Amino acid sequence: MSLINLIDLPVYGDGRGDLSSLEVGKDVPFDIERVYYLYNLGESPRGFHAHRYLQQLAICVNGHCKFLLDDGTRREEVVLTKPNQGLLIRRAMWREMREFSNDCVILVLASAHYDEKDYIRNYSEFLSFAKGE
Ligand code: T46
């Protein structure tokens, strides 16, 4: 099974433009407890961590960017270019983000509030954690 799980979101377009919506239980497979967004992104890559329990859906609502996902045994990359497509990031998945376009905005829906204790920011520690899963 691919690590890259893309969820296509509905687009309601007409002469005025496009509108996409997300519904918990239909488009998003977890309850949304937090929303955040990344913008004014430069050349520095981000991420380089995994989460013990957090699940997230990342949508590049403007521009494009590259995500790398790693489950401890495999690494896969995807370029996000569509505002109507979300990348599901399951728990226990190392992620790295890079190659942001100047106009890139990434909207992230998260299954829990921010909790630094849920982060694994050391790759060796992540590999041990992933092995125990
Ligand atoms: C992820 C990727 C896609 C908060 O105070 N609250 C928050 O909700 C978040 C997400 C971050 N922060 C603080 C913690 C750090 O001091 O914002 C600062 C930057 O966070 P971080 O270095 O973790 O940012 P990224 O871009 O490396 O990772 C973020 C998320 O943290 C992470 O869960 O999956 O975006």
Q: What is the pLDDT of residues 49-66, one digit of tens each?
A: 999 999 999 999 999 999
Largest interatomic CA distance in the chain: 52
Q: For the segment 82-96, what is each residue's pLDDT rounded down to a tens digit? A: 999 999 999 999 999
pTM of the predicted protein model:
0.97
CB contact set of 18 (below 8 Å; sequence gap of 6+): 11, 12, 83, 84
* Residues at CB less than 6 angstroms from ligand 1: 34, 36, 38, 46-47, 56, 58, 95, 108, 114
The answer for residues whose C-beta is within 8 angstroms of residue 124's C-beta and 6 or more apart is none
- Given this model, what pLDDT does residue 133 score? 77
Q: How many angstroms is it from 14 CA to the middle of ligand 1?
A: 35
